[in-house]
Structures are given as structure tokens and as C-alpha cells.
Structure 1
Amino acid sequence: MTHRSIHPVYICLLLYSFALTPSLTQVLDTCVQETSCTCKNSKGTIDLTPLANTAGSARFLDLSDASGSNFKYSWNPCQDFTEGSGSCDKVAGCQSDSSTATYYNLGDQASAQFVNDATSLSLHYSATTDITRTMIVTLTCDETQEDTLSITGEDPNNPGTYLMTLTSKYACPKAGPGPTKGPPGPDGGISIGSILIIIFFATVVVYMSGGVAVQTFVRRASGRDMVPNYGLWTTLLGLIKDGFLFSFSCGRRTGYGKA
């Protein structure tokens, strides 16, 4: 008995079709930003408002990073604060150097953006003074925690980017209606057109990978016969080509005479 090898491309397509399903779920469950400290997804609303200090100072004030350096960090969700005799004036985040009493703006509430990726949700702030600095607060849901902010410090792979993690019950979505309509884009939700394109290509991938598997393992096909409905697609492509040629030549090509 001869053994027919399977082209690596077909294997990749088959694996990709299985991997695509959870990815679609993650994309479609984007937390759509509503304010500088609230966003909404299919599970409800994440609202950091209860953590906001409205007295003009930061809720999380002068916390040291994990390395124990001279740098300290302050953050206040939802409301701006001022620190360092105005060096950090009306900001959401501030970095200070205790050895030189120097303060650096890490962004205000207007710069806040909820950023979704495959594994986490985070709040990004940024400010440009002498350089551009970015503060990233990763949000971790824990119903047993009121609020704990751990400071990682400056990202060694991205100078000027400062990392911290909020663990809190307020980082958990509370039951409510699904997401409201937001602007398309990575931080404002995904548009209907993008959803339809994702579904279309997912369907094509599943159709092709499933069809190739059936043709190969069930019908023992080889070569071009491994493509499902090969004859139909070649005929259809030929008709589409003829249609374009007829349209662009306004019917004047040979073979398209008047009736």
C-alpha cells in the first residue's frame, strides 16, 4: 500500500481553523470604552469610579517599583491630581525621583485608553514633555480584593513605558446590558464590517480545510482533486473572468455579437 503525503499548507489550514474560534470570541467581546475609567463588554461594565480620589491627591500615592529604585509612582483613576508643586499638574499618573525631587507627567485622564488583547485588558495613559512617557495599568479581576496596585516599573524592552497591575473587584465586569456602539478601531470596539470580514474568512478557512481533509482521507483524492468542488470553482472563476472582460470591452470582444 502506498502512503500519500499531505502538503504542510493543508495541515496549517486545518489547525488554523480550530484556533480561529476562540480568537473570534475574544475579538467580539472587546470592552468598549465609555469614559476614562469605564468600559463595557458582553458581561457588563468595568467601572473604576469607586477607586477615584476626588480630594486632589492620588488614590495610589508614591508607590515603589519592584526593583526598589529611587523612583516612585502615583496613579488616580477617573480624576486628575496634582503632585510635586505643580510638576505633575492635573495628571492621572506621575513618576517621581526621590533622590532629586524630580517629577514626571505620565499622562492625564484625557489620554486614557482601554486596550484589549488576547489575554488581558489594560488602561494606557501617555504624555509628552521632554520625552514621551506611557503608563500601562493592567486590570486584573479579583472579587475578593478592594484594590491592590503592584508596580513593575520601567519596561526594559520599551524605555519610557511604565508597567503596573491593579487587582480589584472593580476590574470585574458587573452585570448589565451589552456594549454600546463605539468608534471602530483597536480601542473603541470592532465595526460590523470587520466582524463580517472575519466571519467570511473564517468560513472560507473552515470550508477549505474541512474539504481538503474529506477529499484526502475519505475519498483518497490527490493533486488538484484534493480541493473541494474543484470543477465548480474553476468554472465559476472562468465565468467571472468572462464577465469582467465583457464589461470592460462594452461587449465588443470577439464572440459577443449582437443578437
Structure 2
Amino acid sequence: MQVPCVLAFALLAFARSSDFTCKKTSNCSCQYENGDNINLISLGKRDQTARFMEHHGGLVFSYNPCYTFTIVVPGVRNVACSPQDDVAVCETQSTTLFNIGTQKSASFVTAEERLYIVYTSTETNPHSTTRIELKCDPNESSGVFSVQDQDESTEIHHFALLHKCCCPNGCQRRSPVTHKQGGGLSTGSILLIVVLCLLFVYFVGGILYQRLGKGAQGIEMVPQHQFWMSLPGLIKDGVVFAIKPCKNWSTKSGYTVMK
């Protein structure tokens, strides 16, 4: 009895852990096993500035999801935190800049049912690791970026990001303001093109057949020319037939028929 119970418990634990695994789909998005998505793309600024900046113990930490940025310190040439360095998280110590996480290094890690986005950088010695816990708050639209713990000796940095985008399906995959969806032909346009092509084939093929196959000339080369000549009259008869009941009804109802 103990072996089946152990196996059942192991399978249950594995299934439960799989539910909380978020597979990376881009540098700022991941997808759970059930199809839910976490996407931070609408949080990132595209003007080369950082979306979040937090002061802690004389240090300044800057973070911008998805897009690189530049930190400008007066009198200091930026050699660490710039788009060329693929920076995601930057640490500023007085006039010294440290790239403590690159965009391309982003990974998504789950631990104790918590989701983290983890960045690494080889710019520091020892190499930096930055863990940002993604905390869900459906009512938070501005975002709160906070320092949790810092270990300068091992260069491991812990932060938390509170935002609705940290919730499953909390934000759209693409920003509707900055991203233009690719255009395409509508169903009506496709049908119109098909009808015009069929009419072209009908008339051109019919005229060639009538001329080359039957030796027809003039108006007789048009396929079913008698039908097309009578079509205007048929349309007129149809319109008169359709409005006649309305005309009779308006006369019987006491309305004056305008002439």
C-alpha cells in the first residue's frame, strides 16, 4: 500500500508543480501549462529611459522590462548601462554604473508558487544575478518596484514588482497604442474579387467561344446577350412589383399619394 501512495503523491506533486511552471516565450513574457500568459511588454518604455527607479541605502536601481535604456550621470561617460550593453537592470553607486542584468538573459523561475523573472550579467565580478518577484495586483496600474534584499558580496539582488501585468492574462500581449496590427483583406473584399474574376472569365471566355466557335459577330458575341438586354426591364418589373403592395396600403390607409 505504501508504494502506490508514494507514487500517487509524487504524481500529484509533479502535476501541481507543472501548473506553476511558466515557460518563457520572449524576454518579457511566459506561458503557463493551462495557456494563461504573463506579459510585461506594456510596462517597458521605448524612449531609452527606465520605467522604474528605486533608491536604497545610497544606491539607485533602475529597471525597464523588455527594452534597453540609458542612465545618464553628469560628468560620467556611460560605459555600463546603455542600449549597447543590453541593460535591463542598472545599479548606480555615486558616479559608478553597474549592469546587473541584461534583457537577453531573462528567464522565468517558479519557487514556492511564486513567479520570478531572473536576469544575469557578466559585467560584474562576481557575475550578477537579479531576481524580481512578479506580484499580482489586478488594481495596480502604475506599478510598484521595490528592493527586497541585496547581497553585495555575492552580487545577488532581490526585488519585487507589483502590477496587474504580473497577473495571468493581466495585460495584452501587445500594446494597442504603440503596435499596429497588420492589415488584411476582409471577407467581403475577397468575395468581391472572386465575383469580379468570375465575371471577367465569363464574358471574355463567352465572347471568344461565340466568335471563334460559332462565328458570331457584334452584339451576338456576348454570351446570353438576350438575357443581358432584357435585364434592365426585369429589374424595373421587380421594383414595381415590390413597391406596389406598399402603394396600395398607403392609399387604403387614407394617406394622400404624392404625384
If the length of structure 2 is used for normalisation, what is the TM-score? 0.55
Could you tell me which of 43, 55, 78 is aligned with 1:51?
43
Q: 2:162 aligns with which of 148, 160, 167?
A: 167
- Report if the CA contact (8 A) 1:23-1:118 is conserved: no
Q: Does 1:89 align with 2:82?
A: yes
- Offset, 1:153: 3.7
8 Å contact 1:88–1:104 — kept in the other structure?
Answer: yes
Alignment of 1:111 with 2:110, yes or no, is no
The equivalent of 1:32 in structure 2 is: 23
Gaps of 5+ in 2: 172-259
* SS of corresponding position for 1:173: coil
Q: How far does residue 37 in structure 1 lie from its aligned partner after superposition?
A: 0.6
Q: Unaligned 5+ residue runs, structure 1?
A: 1-9, 177-259
How far apart in 2 are the matches of 1:161 and 1:173? Answer: 27
Aligned to 2:115: 121
Amino acid at match of 1:54: R
Shift of 1:38: 0.8
Change (3 A) 1:25 1:111: same
The answer (yes or no) to whether the contact 1:43–1:175 under 8 Å persists in 2 is: no
Q: 1:35-65 CA deviation, whole Å, 9 max, x = no partner?
A: 111111115111111111111010012x123
- Aligned residue number for residue 223 of structure 1: none
- Hey, what does 1:149 align to over in structure 2? 145
Q: Is the 8 A contact 1:138 1:164 kept in 2?
A: yes
- Please tell me whether Structure 1 or Structure 2 has the larger radius of gyration of its CA atoms: 2
Cα displacement (A) at 1:14: 4.5
Question: Following the alignment from structure 1 to structure 2, what is the Cα–Cα distance between the partners of residues 107 and 175?
Answer: 25
Amino acid at match of 1:169: K
Which whole-Å CA distance do the structure 2 matches of 1:16 and 1:139 have between them?
32
Q: Are 1:77 and 2:65 matched, yes or no?
A: yes
1:137-163 deviation line (CA, Å, top 9, x unaligned): 11111101121111124137x720101
The 1:24–1:118 alpha-carbon spacing in structure 2 relative to 1, beyond 3 Å, is farther
Q: 4+ runs of 1 displaced by more than 4 Å?
A: 10-17
Distance in 2 (CA, whole Å) between partners of 1:103 and 1:53 is 20
Shift of 1:83: 1.1
Q: Aligned AA for 2:161? A: L
Quote the offset at 1:24 in angstroms.
2.0
Contact 1:44 1:174 in 2 (8 A): yes
Mapped to 2, the partners of 1:50 and 1:103 lie a distance apart of 26
Contact 1:142 1:172 in 2 (8 A): yes
The answer to whether the 8 A contact 1:73-1:93 is kept is: yes
Cα gap change, 1:153 to 1:103, in 2 (>3 Å): farther
User: 2:42 aligns to what SS in structure 1?
Assistant: helix
Share of identical aligned residues, percent?
A: 28
8 Å contact from structure 1 (residues 44, 175) kept in 2: no
> Structure 1 residue 19: deviation in Å?
6.5
Q: Would the aligned equivalents of 2:45 and 2:64 in 1 still touch at CA under 8 Å?
A: yes
Evaluate the alpha carbon distance shift between residue 149 and residue 130 of structure 1 in structure 2; reply closer, same or farther with a 3 A threshold: closer
CA contact (8 A) 2:60 2:93 kept: yes
2:128 is aligned, of 129, 133, 158, to 133
| TM-score (normalizing by structure 1) | 0.55
